[in-house]
Structure 1
Amino acid sequence: MYVNARAIIERQTRSGLEILVQVRDKPNQPKGLEFPGGRVEEFESIKAALYREVLEETGLKIKIIKGDINQRVYSNNDGSVEGLMPFFVYQTIHGPVDSIGFIFRCEVEEGEAAINEESYGHQWIRLAILEEMLKNTPDAFDFLTQGLLDYYCYWVKVNC
C-alpha cells in the first residue's frame, strides 16, 4: 500500500480560480493529467513529503497551505507522531494501485513550473474548465485524479 501527499495548487486570476495540473507518464498506465504529489517516504512527515513532492514535480515552492492544518508533533523516547488536518483524505478502494493519500490546498511562490524526469505539461486551468473536462472527457485524467477532482469540485460548490 502506498501513502501519498498531494497538492491542489490554486491561484486566483481575473478569469477565476485556476488549478495547476501536470502530465505524468507512468509505466503500464495511460497518460493523464494529475495533481502534483507522491509517496511519503519511510518516517518522513506528511507535510515534508508534500513540500518535497511539489518541488520535485513542479520546481515550485509551496508558499501557503490553505485551511487550518493544526500541525502538532508529539515526541517521547519511543518515537514521534505528527498530527495535522489536511483538506481531505482519500483511499482507493478499487483500481490498479492500493493507496491512501492526504490532499492539501496550496499556493506556490511565483515562477514557472519546470519540466523534469517525473512530470511535464504543467498548465494552469480554470476550475470551470477542469470540471467540464471531467464531465465530458474523464479519460483526460488518471483514475485517481478523476475522484480527487470530483470531490474538490463538490466541495467548492458547497463552500464557496
Structure 2
Amino acid sequence: MCGTLVEAFAIPCVGAIICGQKDGQDALLIQVRQKQGGGIENGMLEVAAGKVREYENVFDALRREVREETGLRLSRIQGEESLSVCTVNGYEVMSFTPFLTTQNLSGGYSIMLQTFICEAEGELLEETRETTDIRWITSQECRELLRRTPEAFYPLHINALSLFLGAV
C-alpha cells in the first residue's frame, strides 16, 4: 500500500499550580525541569506536571506526579469536589473542570495539559529523577520572572501561570 499514514496523537498531561506561603506572602511551588532526554527544555522553570496513564483518573495522576516530583501530598485540588461520574454500557466516564487547558501547536511533542490549582502538605524533596531546585517563590517574584524572562519557563505552563498570577 502506498502512502500509509501513521496518525500521532496528543499526550494527555496534568499540571499543578500549588499554592502556599513564603515569608508571609502568597507563593507557589516551582522547580527546574531535568528530565532524562529532556533536551533544550531541561533547565526551564516549571510546575509539577506529567502524563496521564491509560484509564488513570486525572486527579490520581496529578497526585502521583506531584508526589514523584516534589515529595508533597496534595490536600486539595480545585474542581475535584464538583467532578461528575456516570457509568453506562460498560463505560465509566468522568467529567471535571480544570483551571486551564493548554495545547502546544508545535514544539517537542504534542501535549494537552490540564492545569489545576492545588494545596499540598509534607516535606519538599531537594531533587528527583526529573527535577531540581524545588522551591517556593512569591507570587510577585513569579510575576516578575514571567515578565522579564518568559523563555526561562517551560512553554506549556506560561499561560496558566500568567492567568493564575493575574487573579492573586
Give TM-score scaled by structure 1 length. Answer: 0.87
Give TM-score scaled by structure 2 length. Answer: 0.84
Task: Tell me which residue corresponds to 2:139.
Answer: 127
Q: 1:94 aligns with which of 81, 92, 106?
A: 106
For residues 92 and 134 of structure 2, the distance between their equivalents in structure 1, rounded to whole angstroms, comes to: 36
1:21-72 Cα deviation digits (max 9, x unpaired): 0111242223211000110000111111111111111111001113564112
How many residue pairs match? The answer is: 156
Tell me if the contact between 2:63 and 2:73 (Cα under 8 Å) persists in the aligned partners. Answer: yes
1:71-113 Cα deviation digits (max 9, x unpaired): 1221234221011121121112233331111111111013223
Tell me if the contact between 2:22 and 2:137 (Cα under 8 Å) persists in the aligned partners. Answer: no
Q: How far did 1:153 drift?
A: 2.2
Is residue 7 from structure 1 mapped to residue 16 from structure 2 by the alignment? Answer: yes
For residues 35 and 14 of structure 1, the distance between their equivalents in structure 2, rounded to whole angstroms, comes to: 20
Q: 1:29 aligns with which of 40, 46, 52?
A: 40
| 1:29-108 paired onto structure 2 within 5 Å | 29-30=40-41, 31-67=43-79, 69-108=81-120
Is residue 20 from structure 1 mapped to residue 18 from structure 2 by the alignment? Answer: no
Mean Cα displacement is larger for which, 64-73 or 134-143? 64-73
Tell me if the contact between 2:126 and 2:133 (Cα under 8 Å) persists in the aligned partners. Answer: no
Q: Which has the larger radius of gyration?
A: 2
Mean Cα displacement is larger for which, 56-65 or 95-104? 95-104
For residues 75 and 126 of structure 2, the distance between their equivalents in structure 1, rounded to whole angstroms, comes to: 17
Shift in CA distance, 62/68, structure 1 to aligned 2, threshold 3 Å: closer
Identity %: 31
Q: Which runs of 5+ in 2 are unaligned?
A: 1-9
Shift in CA distance, 69/89, structure 1 to aligned 2, threshold 3 Å: farther
Is residue 149 from structure 1 mapped to residue 131 from structure 2 by the alignment? Answer: no
Q: In angstroms, what is the RMSD of aligned CA positions?
A: 1.8
Mean Cα displacement is larger for which, 71-80 or 32-41? 71-80
Tell me if the contact between 2:17 and 2:48 (Cα under 8 Å) persists in the aligned partners. Answer: yes
SS at match of 2:106: coil
Q: How far did 1:148 drift?
A: 2.5
- After TM superposition, the runs of 4+ consecutive aligned structure 1 residues lying more than 6 A away are none
1:59 partner letter: G
SS at match of 1:29: helix
